[in-house]
Structure 1
Amino acid sequence: MGDICLVLSHIGNFETAISSSDFQILELRTDLIPLNFEIIDEFIPKFEKWIISIRKESFEQENFNEILDYILKFEPKFVDIDEDCLNEELINKVISKSELIISYHNYDHTPDFDFLQNKIDKFVELGAKMVKIVCKGAKNSDFATVSKLYNKNNNLICFLMGENYRQSRIEAYFKGAKITYARLENAKEVAAGIPELENLKRDLQVFEKNLEKSIEVEPFKVSGQISANASKSHVQRLLAIAILTKGKTIINGFEGSKDVDAFLKIVKELGFEVQLTNNQLIIENSNFNFLNSVSVNVGESGLALRMMPFILSNIAHEYEIKASSTLLNRPLNVFLESVEASGIEILSRKFPLKFRGRILKSEIFIDGSFSSQMLSGLLISLPLQSKDTVVFVKDLNSKPYIDMTLEVMSKFGIKVEVENYSKFTIKGNQNYQNHEIKADGDWSGIANFLVAAAISGKVEVENLDINSPQADKAILEVLRNFGAKIDITNSSVIIENCEFRPFNFDCTHAPDLFPILTVLAAKAKGISRIKGWKRLLHKESNRCAAIMEIMGKFGVEIQLEEDEMLVFGNGKIEGGLTINPHSDHRLAMMASIAATLADDKITILNPDVVEKSYPDFFRTLERVKILK
């Protein structure tokens, strides 16, 4: 690891600076601190390892050349000369006493790799022991430029300036930066984004801890046969109905995930008998009595949260809902408006959320533009009411998920009249019938491997229902337009790479496909258009911004136009990068599959986030990937 350098921009901070033991080098900014021989005599001998930085403004000081000569008598460890100040006499003077750093700064933008590499080569030829490249971050692809420079050069200090590019300094430290800069608390920010020392130490520790748990994915292609994992969306609907079904519900092909496990824990805590043998789950609901009050924790599951008030209104008089992690930061207004519209009383609008009473209204009006999950919860709960109910929905999104809900209800004997996805009529006094059912394979999770095959290789996937109402089955339509070979048999789907064409696709009703489709689009040379990015703003992360950040780091240009994301594919991405998936399972999977396009490994921080929906993702990847 490199050294931490504390930047001294005011001589009055010297005593405070040297009282700390958390850095190894002090930088004296001769362009910022007025110097004389007395100051040099007083301070330079008191610290062993200095960088004396020289900028064009340094020469505005009176007698600066004489002052510099005097400083060099103390033989400081490093002298950093900005390119604008270079001359043969100055270089020779410095290298006779100190190790020379030559620096290039660009306060407007980050030039391309070739330009910066030429600078490095030139500076080394001039005698630099170390080269410093510091540019203003202007776009996320600048991260890739910095990473590429570290991949090719030793003895480098290179990072991006700017508040939005602070992470570049942290990543540079672990890429091999010889020096990383910090400032004292409340000291002048001499460059945009330079952190305070304590914050830098904290961020380095956090990043190092995350690196210890990271996964490295080398460039690969895929080949082999795999089985799709169980769909968490389908399984959670089955669990919700099992709670409301008298008698026994049997779910075959059951697989857990963080979201499913949180829901199953609720089932157990409500007092239902649960038996799991191999992949068969049996839920017994025979002696249940209506509860006075109950408290449940939905974990990070947005679906469980948005369905649960309606489900619990059939279970208890008062009910409390807790949540964790990213779910605590998601907006609640539209969700709570839907609950209120049903007649359920809201006792607390902040976590833990608290509710009272049953669904009272016979006509319910809700907004479906934010999410369809509240409607799913209503539809599952309303057949048990003593009266008929009509639900009017405005601007319903994710219609296939409502199809999934209706299909599951139908298999348990419940009928719902649907008019144009805007009016749903549910007869009261219906009962769910005992049923044995198989959990659907998950199109959203397996879409990652289908895309990997379309980019580089061939894969056969079993346990996928081609007639499933799952929205993400639309991946087949995209891959067909992309140019992949698709073979569908009675038991499997086979995808093989062939052509790589740009595509247009509306993701409004299948927002979970968005991340992996940007990787697919990066392979196709040209512009792909993916509609519906506004659906991504309130997922596990601000998924739209996070996709643009990650793909930008990979060197892929993305633009937003109204509700369309334009991906400018060039057939490859930059590797050698460390990716933060922002606690989002789909972004971790997306970044991993991107290695099919990379020229170097991709490091994924916090890979365990995939456990939310696809715990076996990385184990499955190991089974089918072949290193290039």
Structure 2
Amino acid sequence: MMHCMHAPFDLRVFPAARLSGDVTAQPSKNYTTRFLLAAALCEGDTLVRRPATSDDAAALKDGLTTLGATLTPHQDGLLVRGFGAHPKSGTTVDPRNAGAVARFLIGVAALTTETTFVTSHTESLGKRPQGDLFDALRSLGVVVESERGTLPVTLRGPSSGGAVHVSAEKSSQYASALMFLAPLLKGGLTLHLTGDIKSFAPLRQTLHTLSVFGVAFEASDDLRTVTIPGPQAYRGGDVTVPGDYPGSSALLVAGTLVPGEIRVHGLDPNDLQGERASIDVLKAMGADVVHEGTTVTVRGGRPLKAVTRDGDTFTDAVQALSAAAAFASGTTTWENVLTLRFKECDRISDTRRELEKFGLHVTETRDSLSITGASEVPGGFTVNGHGDHRMIMMLTLIGLRASKPIVITGAQHIAKSYPDFFDHLGELGATFETLVPA
């Protein structure tokens, strides 16, 4: 079931009687982005082993190449010859539909005399807010020309560094972008994170990446203040991308909902990805899940019960876990998930609308989502993937337990983060049919 990454297709998902077998977790989307970027910010060569091959990774590779890095397939990864503190000026970068890629490279562009960013995805990334990052860069002396605080944008640097305030309310990615930029600035950066900080886990992943690449920094425990002196050099060498918890959480939910036993390998129990918490959430819901070494084993088919959790710690697993909530007795609430409204779709309202098609009772507030589960849900109809990889995962998982097959529109968008998702489920015993839309 391999698909050309961009050929549109709808997917018919058949109910599964049993799922069993072994899968190796795909490489982490978040760490692939961070390690490849840091490798490009090195002078000289770095081998990045096991990078993801998703649409987002491809967008990043193209952007880094445009800015002057060379990426060559080597052994089990990519050999990256970096541009260090001197990315090419005068280029135009299209990060396609990848929010983190756009923001991180906009940060790097502060080292250039002029860089323009455009997006071919005007209805998705083109609408996502970037103003908080633009404001921070302006305060550092970068000229930022953007009509609405979104892409397209032209930036003119370079900046020499200093102190900067950046909002971490809508996204952690603005602060991460500045953290990657900071060591290469003459004066470094002292970052003051303002607002209600969202998504601590990705910020810690960024700082962890800096330490892997030999960058010194100081950070307060609450991450309100991060000091990164400059100029420093990124030092690469040989790094391996860890397994992906957000994508794997969807496999674990599939293994929870359907009888059988599945094992997902390559998941570090000490990983900094916040979505690692999905294992504890599933246990709290009554699932039979065991994490031993780097293998997670799930025995499926047990009854589930509702939970209430702060979803901000595992943002990218909320939708997969919502599929578990759909079959749990009681009402599950994900609190503090406002950032879900600013993703590929509105993952609060759009998720509610899709779940209601299955007859489920779902309510929302500005920053929460509540799902009352049912022991079984109907099928036999079409649901909307909303061009969102996480939404497509959630709907697929529900389809595995529905009473009749369902059709998910625009299923090709799974490739944004997890191109092998349907293949991996197929290896475990799930059945799908690819439909070419009329």
**What's the TM-score once normalised by structure 2's chain length?**
0.90
Question: Higher Cα Rg: structure 1 or 2?
Answer: 1
Could you say if the C-alpha distance between residues 550 and 219 of structure 1 is closer, same or farther in structure 2, counting changes exceeding 3 Å?
A: same
CA distance in 1, matches of 2:378, 2:74: 45
CA distance in 2, matches of 1:288, 1:562: 41
Alignment match, 2:205:
404
Alignment match, 1:339:
137
C-alpha root-mean-square deviation of aligned residues, in Å?
2.0
**What's the TM-score once normalised by structure 1's chain length?**
0.64
Q: For residues 349-402 of structure 1, what are the alpha-carbon distances to aligned partners after superposition, in whole Å with 9 as ceiling and x for unaligned?
A: 453210000234411011101000011111111011112421100221100001
- Asked if 1:569 is matched to 2:366, the reply is no
Any conservation in 2 of the 1:578–1:604 contact (CA below 8 Å)? yes
Pairing partner for 1:614 from 415, 418, 423? 418
What does 1:408-557 correspond to in 2, within 5 Å?
Answer: 408-419=209-220, 420-457=222-259, 458-497=261-300, 498-557=302-361
Aligned sequence identity (%):
25
CA distance in 1, matches of 2:409, 2:75: 32
Shift of 1:275: 1.1
Any conservation in 2 of the 1:383–1:427 contact (CA below 8 Å)? yes
Alignment match, 1:270:
67
Could you say if the C-alpha distance between residues 472 and 342 of structure 1 is closer, same or farther in structure 2, counting changes exceeding 3 Å?
A: farther
Alignment match, 1:248:
45
Shift of 1:270: 2.7
Q: What's the secondary structure of 1:480's corresponding residue?
A: helix
Q: For residues 119-138 of structure 1, what are the alpha-carbon distances to aligned partners after superposition, in whole Å with 9 as ceiling and x for unaligned?
A: xxxxxxxxxxxxxxxxxxxx
Could you say if the C-alpha distance between residues 355 and 626 of structure 1 is closer, same or farther in structure 2, counting changes exceeding 3 Å?
A: closer
Alignment match, 2:434:
none
Q: What's the secondary structure of 1:369's corresponding residue?
A: coil
Any conservation in 1 of the 2:13–2:400 contact (CA below 8 Å)? no
Alignment match, 2:436:
none
Could you say if the C-alpha distance between residues 625 and 335 of structure 1 is closer, same or farther in structure 2, counting changes exceeding 3 Å?
A: farther
Shift of 1:268: 2.1
CA distance in 2, matches of 1:619, 1:347: 43
Could you say if the C-alpha distance between residues 212 and 390 of structure 1 is closer, same or farther in structure 2, counting changes exceeding 3 Å?
A: closer
Any conservation in 1 of the 2:348–2:368 contact (CA below 8 Å)? no
Q: For residues 178-227 of structure 1, what are the alpha-carbon distances to aligned partners after superposition, in whole Å with 9 as ceiling and x for unaligned?
A: xxxxxxxxxxxxxxxxxxxxxxxxxxxxxxxxx99321111113211101
Could you say if the C-alpha distance between residues 290 and 490 of structure 1 is closer, same or farther in structure 2, counting changes exceeding 3 Å?
A: closer
Pairing partner for 2:154 from 349, 354, 378? 354
Any conservation in 1 of the 2:118–2:153 contact (CA below 8 Å)? yes
Could you say if the C-alpha distance between residues 607 and 626 of structure 1 is closer, same or farther in structure 2, counting changes exceeding 3 Å?
A: closer
Q: What's the secondary structure of 2:47's corresponding residue?
A: strand
Any conservation in 1 of the 2:289–2:296 contact (CA below 8 Å)? yes
Shift of 1:425: 0.8
Gaps of 5+ in 2: 1-6, 432-438
Q: What's the secondary structure of 1:391's corresponding residue?
A: strand
- Asked if 1:306 is matched to 2:103, the reply is yes
Alignment match, 1:624:
428
Gaps of 5+ in 1: 1-210
Looking at both structures, which has the greater relative contact order when contacts are Cα pairs under 8 Å and sequence separation is at least 6?
2
Could you say if the C-alpha distance between residues 363 and 401 of structure 1 is closer, same or farther in structure 2, counting changes exceeding 3 Å?
A: same
CA distance in 1, matches of 2:264, 2:100: 26
What does 1:57-96 correspond to in 2, within 5 Å?
Answer: none
CA distance in 2, matches of 1:260, 1:543: 22
Judging by fraction of residues, say which structure has more helix: 1
Any conservation in 2 of the 1:240–1:311 contact (CA below 8 Å)? no
CA distance in 2, matches of 1:290, 1:271: 6
Could you say if the C-alpha distance between residues 289 and 431 of structure 1 is closer, same or farther in structure 2, counting changes exceeding 3 Å?
A: closer
Any conservation in 2 of the 1:309–1:339 contact (CA below 8 Å)? no
Q: For residues 529-571 of structure 1, what are the alpha-carbon distances to aligned partners after superposition, in whole Å with 9 as ceiling and x for unaligned?
A: 1112322211111221110111000111111246332211112
Pairing partner for 1:364 from 152, 159, 164? 164
1:479 is aligned with what amino acid?
L
CA distance in 2, matches of 1:388, 1:331: 26
CA distance in 2, matches of 1:563, 1:273: 42
Any conservation in 2 of the 1:443–1:473 contact (CA below 8 Å)? yes
